[in-house]
Structure 1
Amino acid sequence: MASAPEQEAVQEGRGPSAHPAAVLNGRRRRTADDTAQTPVWPGAPMPLGARFRVGPDGVAGTNFALWSGGAEAVELCLFSAEGAETRVPLTELTHEIWHGFVPGVLPGQRYGYRVHGRWDPWTGARWNPAKLLLDPYARAVDGGAGNDYGRLPPEVYGHVRDWPQQQVADTVRDDRDSAPYVPKGVVVHDDAPDDEWLDDRRPKTPWADSVIYELHVRGFTKLHPGIPEELRGTYAGLAHPAAIEHLVRLGVTAVELLPVHQFAHEDHLLRRNLRNYWGYNSIGYFAPHAAYAASGTTGQQVGEFKRMVRALHAAGIEVILDVVYNHTAEASELGPMLSLRGIDNRGYYRLQHDARRYADYTGCGNTLHVVQPQVLRLITDSLRYWVTEMGVDGFRFDLAAALARSMHDVDMLSPFLAVIAQDPVLRRVKLIAEPWDVGAGGYQVGAFPPLWTEWNDRYRGAVRDFWRGALPDVRDLGYRLSGSSDLYAWGGRRPYASVNFVTAHDGFTLRDLVSYERKHNEANGEGNRDGTDDNRSWNCGAEGETDDEGVRALRRRQLRNLLTTLLLSTGVPMLVAGDELGRTQGGNNNAYCQDNETGWLDWGLLREPGWKALFDLTSRLIALRHEHPVLRRRAFFSGRAHSADGLRDLAWFTARGTEMTEQDWYAPAATLGMYLSGRDIPGRDARGVPVVDESFLVVLHAADHPLSFVLPGPPWAERYEVVVDTSREDQEDPPGVEHRAGTEITVPARAVLLLRVVGDGGTEA
C-alpha cells in the first residue's frame, strides 16, 4: 500500500502521476441546465423515496427523501425528456434523511441524486458528486448502464479505471459526469386509481397444496406463438391468455419469477456481446425491470406488472418473486458507482477490516450489511411494497444465508429473520430460503426457523443419484421421498418446509440431465470454467443429441421417472419451466447470460408426440396430487400403527414384498417400495370431517433390467390397481390393470409404478 502522504496525493488528484480525469477534484462547474430557481419546500423525511402528492392547499408536487448518514450535501437532479439536468439542493436533514418537497414535479419525472462527502477509500468513504445515483426507493427506472451492447463507459465508475498504478487503482476519484450513462428513477403516482387492480383476489393456496413453477418472464413468453409478437418477453405477455392457459392446463398453483427487480448488466458480459439474462444483479429493489415492459419505461411498467399479477390471480395462480437482497450490481470496489456505493458506502455494504475492500459472502463482489438499520429497513420496505402495492404472494430469497449473518456468522436469531417473523405483512406470505451462501459456515439446509420453507438440495442430489445408479444405499432416498423429516421435523416445521426439486434455473435442464455428463458452457465465453462440475447426470450412453432411437427412448423414460418421483414425494414440488416438455439448453448448465434461443422456451416441442406425452403425464401427476391429500400431507408420517390390523401411515417394502429391515436400508439397492396409507391423515377438511383418502404403493426401480416384485399382502391391501407406469410412452389412458395382493408382478427396467390400493379398509373406487 502507498504511504499516507502518497495516499493523500492520489486521493486529491495531485502529484506527477495524477490522471487528467481526477484533476477537477470534485469542483465540477455548473452547467447551463443547472438552476437555483426551482422552489423546494422542507417536505417530510418519510416515506423514503419519491412520493407524488397533492397537498391540502391543492399544490401538486413530489416529496423526495434519501437516507445518507455521512453525506455533507445532497442534490436532487431532475431530467427533462431531452436529458437537460436541473439540480435542486436538499437542505433539510432529519435523522440522517435528506428531504424536500418540490412543487410541480409530476409522475413521469426522471430524477437521480448527487451526494457530496469525503473521498477516502481507505476508510470506506467513496462519495463522489460527479456520479448520478439511482434512488434506492425508486418505484420505476428508465434507461441504464449497459442497456445496449457495449462496454460500460469509464464515466460510470467512481474511481479512474485506467490509473496506471494498479495497487491503488480504485482510490483515485474520477470526476467525469456519469449522468448520460446511468439509469434514472421515475416518479410514479402510487395512489392512482386502478379499477382492474382493486378487485384482485389472491388465491392463498395452502403450502401443502402448492406446486411451484419457476419461470423467466422473458424466456417463457419470447417464442410463444399464441402471444402477440409485440407482447412477447414482457409482463403483458405473461398475462396473456395463451401463456396462462399452459399454466392452468399443467395445474401449477404458483409461478416463481426469476428476478424482476431492476437489474444491470456486468461489464465483462457486455464486452463479450452478452448480457445478464437471469437478472441476479439487482440495482432497484422497488422497480419492476423496465426491459420486461411492453407499455413503456417511465412508470408504465408498474401498472403492467400489476395487471400481470391480477391475471395470474384470476387463474388461481400465486406470484412468488425470486429476490436478490444479498448483493447489488455495484460489484466489488472495482465495480461501477450506480447507487448505494455513492450514497453511503459504509452504511450499506459489509466492509473488511481493511475498509477499502468488501466482505464478499455472495461471490458477486459485495454483500449488503443487513445488520445496519437502514439496510434492514430498505429490504423490509421493499418486501412490504411488493406485497401490499404490487400484489405478490411470496418470495424466494437468493443466498438467504447471507441475509441471516449477524456480524460474520450465520445466525438464526439475526435481525433480518427476527424482523420478518414479527412483521404483520411479511409473516403471512410464502417465504422460501435458498439456505446457503458462499462464505464459511454458509450451508444451512434444514436450519431456517419455522415460517420458512427451503430449497432442499439434498432432495435433488438423492433423486439424481438414485436414477443414475450412484446411490450406495437407499437410506437418504427414503428420507427425501417422505418429506425430509431428518431436516425439518423440529420446532413445529412441517413437510412443506421442504421445497423439492430435481432441477432449477441454475444447472442442467431436466432433458440435459439425461443427455449430458459434462457441462458445455463455451457460449458463455469463459472457457467452460463457469458452472458447476458436480452435475450428477447420466447421458444414457451418448453425449448430447443423438439419432439413436434407443438412447432417445431411454432418455424420455428417465424424464418420466424423475418427474414422477418429484410429484409423488412429500413436500412442495418445484418444476422448471420447459422441463415438462423436454426443453434443452444444449448442455449449458449456467445459461445466466444466454438471452437467446438457449435460454428461451421452445414451444414447438409441444408439437412433437414424445414431448407432448411428457407434458400430459406431468399434468396428470399434478392432478393426482391435487386430488389425493395423502400425496401432499400437512404433517410428517409417524410410521406407527393406527389400528389393530397393524397398518401404518408409511411403510417401506423390498422386492420380496417384506417390510424393510435396518439391514435392507444399508444394503445396495436399486428398488424401493413406498406404501402411503390414506387412513386418518392428520387434519380435517373445511367441514371439520377427518381426512380419509385412498392408499397407494409406489415402486421405484432404477436398474437396467426387469424385476419381479411381490405386492404386499393383507392387511396392506386386497388388490392393487396400476395408475401410472412410466415404462409406457403414452400415458393418456391410465393402465387400469389390477393385481391381487401377494402376487408377483414384473416391474420393467428403469420405471416407476404407482398402484392404487383396493380393499385396505380405506375408501374404494
Structure 2
Amino acid sequence: MTTPGARAEAGTTRFTVRSPRAEAVWLCLFAGEAETRHAMERSGSDWTITLPGDLSGTLYGYRAAGPWAPEEGCWFDPAKLLVDPYAVELDRRFVQSPLLATFGEDTGGIVPRAVVPAPLAPLPPEQPRFARGGLVYELNVRGFTMLHPDVPEALRGTVAALAHPAVLAHLSRLNVTAVELMPIVAWVDERHLPPLGLVNSWGYNPVAMMALDPGLCPGGVAELRRTVEALHAAGIGVVLDLVFNHSGESDVHGGILSLRGLDDAMYARAPEPDGRLINDTGCGNTLDFANPAVRRLAIDTMRHFVTHCGVDGFRFDLAPILARGPGFDPAAPIFAEIGADPLLADRVLIAEPWDIGPGGYQLGAFPPNWLEWNDRFRDDVRRFWKGDGSIGVLATRLAGSTDIFGPQRVGEGCRSINFIAAHDGFTLADMVAYAERHNWANGENNRDGHGENFSWNNGVEGPSNDAAIIAARRRDLKALLGTLFASAGTIMLTAGDEFGRTQQGNNNAYCQDNAIGWVDWNARDLALEEHVIALSAARAGNLRTFAQFPDPVVWQSRDGKAMTVEDWERPGADWLRCSAPGTGFGFTIDRAERSVNIDS
C-alpha cells in the first residue's frame, strides 16, 4: 500500500494523495509565489508522482478537477489550492476568507503550502511516561505562556516555551505526571469570528490533522520533538489533544481547503436521497470512521507523533465519533486497530466520551485500557459543595465511580479522569465567583457556553474587595481542590487553576486570544498555589493507592461509627471520614466547615 504524503528518499521525492472521484489531480510546487503544476497519475483511489531530486523544504499543494456537484458530495474546483491531508508542516497559518467557498475563485495566495519534510530518524521506542493515579495538567500552549514573566518574549506563545526552565520548574513543583496540550495542529477560524474581530484560540477546528500550527510551533516537528525531550527529562509525559471528529471545512457553506476538494467521502452523510452532512459534532460536519481511509488517517497521525515526536498518548475530542458508523459501537474497528498497532497499543488513550449526536453520551463505554473524562465527577462534586448534592453520591465519585466504570480489577487502576474544571467551562476560581456565565465578549449576546454550571458567587457576582468574601472563596477553592486530590482515579487540573486564574466569568473563552484567555502569572494567589503543591505532594507519595481505591475502606459518620444506609441517605448529611486500615490513606470532608483534610 502506497504511503500518502510527500517522501524524499534515494534521490527522488514521491507525492501521493487520495482522491477517488477526481478526474485529474496536479501537484503544485512553489518557489516564492511562482507556482509550477505537475499532472499526477491515478493508482486506484490514489494519485502519485515521483520527481527527481531531494525536494525537502519545498512548498507544495494540490489542485483537483472533477464534477462540481456539492449536493452529491463533489466539490472539485481547480481554482482551489488544497492542503495535503498528510502534511506535517505548513508555511503559514490558515485564514478565513469568502474566497474559500466561492467556485472559480483562486485561493493559491491565501491557503497554506505544505513543506516537504526532510527524512527524520524515528525515535527509539520507550514506555509512556504516565502513571494512573497521577496528575494530568491541561494547558493551552499560547494562553499558558503569553504572559509568563520568565519566558523570553520571542518564545512566548509557542511549544518551545514549555521547555523553558521556569515552566519545567513549575510543573515539577506540582508533581505533574503529564501535560495535556490542547490542539497544536493547524486550524482555521470559524466563519463568524473574523467579522467580530475575534479568532479561535483553542484550536478545536483543524484542517490538517498532523500538520503543526506554524504560529504555535514555528520550528515544526523538530521544535515539538525537543520540547517533548525536555519534558521527559523532567519526568513529565506529553499527551496531545487530537480532534479527529470533524474538519474546519465546516458545513455546506464552508471553505474548500483539503478533504472537501479531494475526498468528500471522508465526511459522514445521511442515507440517500437526503445525503446531507451529518453534524454529530456541532461543527458542521463529521468525519466518517466507518470509512477505512478515515481510520487510516487517524492512526497514521498518531503513529507520526509517537515515532517522530515521542509523545506518550492522546486525548480524543468528542471521542464517540471514532466509534460511529453511524451509531456508537463499543466494538468499533478503530479500537482493535489501535490495540493491534505496535506503536500505539501501549500509549495513553483518553476519551472525551460524549458528542451531540444520537446516543452520544458514552461515559463508561470505552475499552478497558482507555481513560475517560468523568463529567459526572465534575458535576456531582460541584453540586455537593454548592449544597444540593448528597454525600452518598460524593462518596461514589471519590471511590472511582464504580457505578459507571464497574468494579476495579486489582492492578489495573481506575479508568476515571476526575476533574472539576477544564478548558471548556468556568475556571475553578470563577466557579465560586460567578453564578451565571458572562460571555458578552464572544459576540453572541451571552447565549454561548454552558447555561448550567452548578456554580455560585458567595454573595457578590464577580470580583470583590471584601475580605470576608475573598476568604470564603478561598475556602471553597481549597475544599474543591481537596476533593479532587482525595479521589481515586487519575486527576486533571487546568493550567492556572492552582493559583486562582480567572476568565472574568467567561465560560467559553475559545475566541479570547487576549487577557481573558491568557494565564496571568503576576496575579497568582500564592497561598492557594502552595496549598495545591502540598496536596499534590501528599498524593504523589501514595500514588498507587489513589490509582485504585483501597479495599477495604472504612466510611465513618461524625460520631465515629460506620456509615449506615440511613446515614448515606439522610438529607443534608455534610460530614464524612474515609480511611483504609494499615495504609495511612484517609481523608475527612466537612461541608459545614468547607474543608477537606487528607491524611499525610
Considering the TM-score relative to the shorter chain, is it more than 0.5? yes
- For residues 80 and 114 of structure 1, what CA distance do their matches in structure 2 show? 17
Of 367, 374, 396, the residue aligned with 1:456 is 374
Residues 123 and 309 of structure 2 are in contact (CA less than 8 Å); yes or no, is this contact kept in structure 1?
A: no
Aligned to 1:500: 418
Query: Aligned to 1:255, which of 179, 185, 198?
Result: 179
The offset of 1:266, in angstroms, is: 1.6
Could you tell me which residue of structure 2 aligns to residue 123 of structure 1? 72
Pairing 1:30-109 to 2, within 5 Å after superposition: 46-53=2-9, 55=10, 60-81=11-32, 83-91=33-41, 93-104=42-53, 106-109=55-58
- Match of residue 304, structure 2, among 367, 372, 385: 385
Specify the alignment match of 1:717 in structure 2. Answer: none
Q: CA separation of 1:513/1:442 partners in 2, compared to 1, >3 Å: closer, same or farther?
A: same
Counterpart position of 2:594: 750
- Paired AA for residue 176 in structure 1: E
Distance in structure 2 (CA, Å) of the matches to 1:484 and 1:674: 18
Please state how far the C-alpha of 1:233 moved relative to its aligned partner: 0.6
Question: Quick one: distance in 1 between partners of 2:172 and 2:216?
Answer: 23
Q: Which stretches in structure 2 are left out of the alignment for 5+ residues? A: none
Equivalent residues in 2 for 1:559-570 (5 A)?
559-570=477-488
Shift >3 Å, 4+ stretches = 197-203, 347-356, 490-495
Equivalent residues of 2:433, 2:461 under 8 A apart = yes
Q: Whole-Å Cα distance in 1 between the matches of residues 404 and 210 of structure 2?
A: 34
Deviation at 1:418, TM superposition (A): 2.3
Q: Please name the residue that 2:589 is paired with.
A: 700
2:197 to 259, 273, 285: 273
Q: Residue 243 in 1 paired to residue 172 in 2? A: no
Quickly say closer, same or farther: Cα 1:375–1:629, change in 2 above 3 A. Answer: closer
| Counterpart amino acid of residue 327 in structure 2 | D
1:486 aligned to 2:410?
A: no
- Figure out how many residues of one structure are paired with residues of the other and give that number: 599
Q: Check conservation: 1:211, 1:573, Cα contact below 8 A.
A: yes
Q: Which has the larger radius of gyration?
A: 1
Counterpart of 1:438 in 2: which secondary structure? coil
Partner secondary structure for residue 219 of structure 1: helix
Q: Is the 8 A contact 1:200 1:314 kept in 2?
A: no
Q: Using the alignment, how far apart are the partners of 1:489 and 1:425 within structure 2?
A: 29
Partners in 2 of 1:61 and 1:450 — Cα distance?
45
Distance 2:559 2:171 in 1: 41
**Over aligned residues, Cα RMSD in angstroms?**
1.8
Amino acid at match of 1:49: G
Name the TM-score, length of structure 2 as normaliser.
Answer: 0.96
Where do residues 712-731 of structure 1 align in structure 2 (5 Å cutoff)? none
1:601-656 Cα distance to aligned partner (Å, 9 max, x none): 111123xxxx111111111111111112464143x544xxxxxxxxxx21211112
Partner of 1:343: 262
Deviation digits for residues 540-589 of structure 1 (CA, Å, limit 9, x no counterpart): 11100011110011001111111111011111010000000110000000
Are residues 1:474 and 2:364 paired?
no
Determine the structure 1 residue equivalent to 2:113. 184
Q: Which residue of 2 aligns with 1:18?
A: none
For residues 332 and 552 of structure 1, the distance between their equivalents in structure 2, rounded to whole angstroms, comes to 46
| Residues 1:226 and 2:170 are matched in the alignment | no
Equivalent residue, structure 2, for 1:153: 97
Are 1:653 and 2:556 an aligned pair? yes
1:30 alignment counterpart: none
| Cα distance, 1:104 vs structure 2 | 3.2
Relative to 1, partners in 2 of residues 1:547 and 1:411: Cα closer, same or farther, differing over 3 Å? same
**Which of 452, 456, 461 is 1:543 aligned to?**
461
Q: Percent identity, please.
A: 46
Aligned twin of 1:114 = 63
1:601 partnered with 2:445:
no
Please give the alpha-carbon distance, in whole angstroms, between the structure 2 residues aligned to 1:633 and 1:124. 48
* Other structure's SS at 2:309 match: coil
CA distance in 1, matches of 2:206, 2:579: 44
Partner of 2:360: 442
Amino acid at match of 2:176: V
- Asked if 1:142 is matched to 2:66, the reply is no
**Other-structure match for 1:325:** 244
1:207 alignment partner in structure 2: 132
C-alpha separation in 2, matches of 1:218 and 1:484: 34
Deviation at residue 187 of structure 1 after TM alignment: 0.7
Shift of 1:451: 1.0
Report the Cα offset of residue 105 of structure 1. Answer: 5.2
Task: Specify the SS of the correspondent of 2:109.
Answer: helix
Match in the other structure for 2:541: 627
SS at match of 1:268: coil
Hey, what's the Cα distance between the residues in 2 that align with 1:385 and 1:110?
20
In structure 1, give the amino acid aligned to 2:594.
R
User: What is the 5 A alignment of 1:374-453?
Assistant: 374-406=293-325, 408-453=326-371
1:168-179 map, 5 Å: 174-179=103-108
2:509 corresponds to which letter in structure 1?
A
SS, match of residue 293 in structure 2: helix
State the shift of 1:513 in Å.
Answer: 0.3
Q: Tell me the secondary structure at the aligned position of residue 426 of structure 1.
A: coil
The answer to whether the Cα contact below 8 Å between 1:449 and 1:491 also exists between their aligned partners in 2 is no
> What is the 5 A alignment of 1:357-368?
357-368=276-287
